[in-house]
Amino acid sequence: MNKNDSERIESIFQSMNMISTDKPEDADVILMNSCSIRESAEDRIYSFSHKFAKLKEKKPNLIVAVTGCMPGRDKDGKLRKRLKAVDLFFPTKDVIMLPRWLSELNPELRPIDLEEDYLSVKPYTKTKFQAFVTLQTGCNQFCTYCVVPYARGMEINRPLKNILAEVKNLVDNGCLEITLLGQIVNHWLAKKDDKFSKENPYKQNDFAKLLWELNQIERLERIHWTAPHPIYMDEEVIDALTLPKQLNFIHLPVQSGNNKILKKMNRKHTHELYLEKIKKIREKKPDIAIGTDIIVGFCDETEEDFTDTISLYQECDFDISYTAKYSNRSGTLADKLFIDNVTQDEKKRRWFLLQQLMEDIVLRKNQTYLNKNVSVLVDTFKNGMCGGNSREMKRINFPGQPDLVGKIVNVAIIEAGHWILWGKMV
Ligand code: SF4
């Protein structure tokens, strides 16, 4: 999501006739798009702003700005106080004000008129064949560990016609693969006056209806979305996984396998409900690759509670997990209600156990691709090797040429590692 916001910011800068530089000392404006999901991400902003404060001593006209999740969640101004050298500190939704504020600070920077809604700003994408498309921002769920509802506010969904227009425009410019983004992407809701096609087979779930509409766009080859919530994985969304352009991969965050912890997290699903969703998904698409997010060491998580997460992991046979050691985020419900009482060493130990389990499972699963052909969207070329993702979001490397970048090719798998599969083009 932040990456897609950065693409919008880059497009605003370009409209102001500004060009990017890799060297901070050459810049007139430095804008940091912050993430608050973990403490370490915010620590990086403090450390960069300290560095840029020194730069400002040598170059007083330099404008340093921070947007993203930190300003959004800083209701009491404590974070802002620690960022002394920062001139502008504003939440993402106010990014449309950026040209005006910049030109007030430096009259040489030309202000431009923007739409009122930041999601209407067209993102600048470096690669033409892949793009993010934001469907919604904000979240109404209030999982107790999470800063998103504070940082990004309540859920706001984009109208169907804006989404379809954006995707059609991307496809006209050569886009083959879109990644639909939303905090709870499968909870995207249409507006009252949004009109779906009469032939659309889905009747209940707006997100499933949207997936069907996107599947009708000619020359669009692949559709991927992240991140859904298990409670909104209803029959229609699960059925939509079988639509032809849908990638053969789903990332479905679970966070914990223990019902007491899930309740404390306010996740609104249980161990059993999650397993039931995975079972239904595999009934529809037996070979689908599945990823998840897990937090270890949440408040009061005992060894026995953690065992439930291990057993759920084994039962789901995940292809990948993004596992995080719980870190308390100020302002969240968990910060107010619970004590972060699992030691760092214990969090680390649980993290390593899950990591080991993931590595064992993923290697076994990757070996099932040996001697099979997979379809790969090539996105890199380096030292004679092409790289890209398969429809299962497996990373594939194979010998090729630079002109394959941006094309979809078939690759026969000849070697399988944990994180990369090697093959040859067929
Ligand atoms: S669903 Fe929960 S974890 Fe996801 S963004 Fe909303 S509050 Fe955060």
Query: pLDDT digit string (tens) for 16-44?
Result: 999 999 999 999 999 999 999 888 899 99
CATH of residue 170's domain is 3.80.30.20
Full DSSP string of 364-420: HHHHTTTT-EEEEEEEEEETTEEEEEETT--EEEEE--GGGTT-EEEEEEEEE-SS-
The predicted structure's pLDDT at residue 341: 97
**What is the average pLDDT across 72-99?**
93
Query: pLDDT digit string (tens) for 382-409?
Result: 999 999 999 999 999 999 999 999 999 9
pLDDT at 140 over 90: yes
CB 239 within 8 A of CB 280: no
| Residue 5, phi-psi category: left (phi > 0), alpha (psi -120 to 50), beta (remainder) | alpha
Please tell me whether residues 222 and 318 are part of one structural domain.
yes
CATH of residue 388's domain is 2.40.50.140
SS3 of 325, please?
strand
Nearest-5° Cα angle at 219, 218 to 220: 90
* Dist CA 389 CA 401 (whole Å): 16
Residue 116: count other Cβ atoms within 10 Å of its Cβ. 6
Query: pLDDT digit string (tens) for 225-240?
Result: 999 999 999 999 999 9
Please tell me whether residues 314 and 219 are part of one structural domain.
yes
Q: Which helix (H) or strand (E) holds 289?
A: strand 289-296
The predicted structure's pLDDT at residue 77: 93
Residue 183: pLDDT band by 50, 70, 90 thresholds? Answer: very high
Tell me, in angstroms, the distance from the centre of ligand 1 to residue 69's CA.
13
Please tell me whether residues 175 and 294 are part of one structural domain.
yes
Provide the whole-model pTM: 0.94
Phi, psi of 2 (to 5 degrees): -65, -35
Tell me, in angstroms, the distance from the centre of ligand 1 to residue 27's CA.
35
Domain termination residue (choose one: 351, 367, 383): 367
Ligand 1 atom 4: residue of nearest CA: 183
Please tell me whether residues 306 and 159 are part of one structural domain.
yes
In this structure, the residues whose C-beta lies within 6 A of any atom of ligand 1 are: 139, 141-143, 146, 148-149, 183-184, 229
Tell me, in angstroms, the distance from the centre of ligand 1 to residue 146's CA.
6
Tell me, in angstroms, the distance from the centre of ligand 1 to residue 94's CA.
22
Terminal-residue alpha carbon distance, the chain = 35
* Dist CA 203 CA 184 (whole Å): 20
> Closest Cα partner for 329 from 31, 38, 29?
38
Residue 118: pLDDT band by 50, 70, 90 thresholds? Answer: confident
Domain termination residue (choose one: 318, 348, 367): 367
Query: pLDDT digit string (tens) for 340-378?
Result: 999 999 999 999 999 999 999 999 999 999 999 999 999
Length of the chain equals 426
> Closest Cα partner for 397 from 405, 409, 385, 407?
385
pLDDT at 75 over 90: no
**What is the average pLDDT across 45-53?**
96
The predicted structure's pLDDT at residue 38: 84
Ligand 1 atom 8: residue of nearest CA: 146
Please tell me whether residues 382 and 328 are part of one structural domain.
no
Please tell me whether residues 313 and 249 are part of one structural domain.
yes
How many distinct structural domains can be found in the chain? Answer: 3
- Which residue do the tokens 């779930």 mark? 205
Residue 154: pLDDT band by 50, 70, 90 thresholds? Answer: very high
> Closest Cα partner for 413 from 398, 391, 393, 392?
398
CA dihedral 13, 14, 15, 16 (to 10 degrees): 50
> Closest Cα partner for 86 from 103, 107, 63, 70?
63
Please tell me whether residues 257 and 205 are part of one structural domain.
yes
Q: Which atom of ligand 1 is nearest to the CA of 229?
A: 1
* Dist CA 50 CA 84 (whole Å): 9
Mean pLDDT of the chain: 96
Instruction: Please state whether beta strands 395-399 and 130-134 pair in parallel, antiparallel, or not at all (unpaired).
Output: unpaired
Please tell me whether residues 104 and 127 are part of one structural domain.
no
Tell me, in angstroms, the distance from the centre of ligand 1 to residue 189's CA.
17
Q: Which atom of ligand 1 is nearest to the CA of 147?
A: 8
Tell me, in angstroms, the distance from the centre of ligand 1 to residue 183's CA.
6
> Closest Cα partner for 70 from 151, 155, 153?
151
The predicted structure's pLDDT at residue 39: 87
Tell me, in angstroms, the distance from the centre of ligand 1 to residue 145's CA.
9
Query: pLDDT digit string (tens) for 101-117?
Result: 999 999 999 888 887 78
Please tell me whether residues 218 and 352 are part of one structural domain.
yes
Q: Partners of 33 in the beta sheet?
A: 67
The predicted structure's pLDDT at residue 24: 94
Please tell me whether residues 192 and 249 are part of one structural domain.
yes
Please tell me whether residues 355 and 398 are part of one structural domain.
no
CATH of residue 20's domain is 3.40.50
Domain termination residue (choose one: 88, 118, 148): 118
Boundaries of domain holding 378: 373-425
Handedness of CA 214, 216, 220, 222 (dihedral sign): positive
Please tell me whether residues 186 and 283 are part of one structural domain.
yes
CA dihedral 396, 356, 316, 270 (to 10 degrees): -130
Instruction: Please state whether beta strands 421-425 and 408-416 pair in parallel, antiparallel, or not at all (unpaired).
Output: antiparallel
Q: Which atom of ligand 1 is nearest to the CA of 227?
A: 4
CB 62 within 8 A of CB 56: yes
Pocket test for ligand 1, best of 1, 136, 148 (most atoms within 8 A of CB): 148
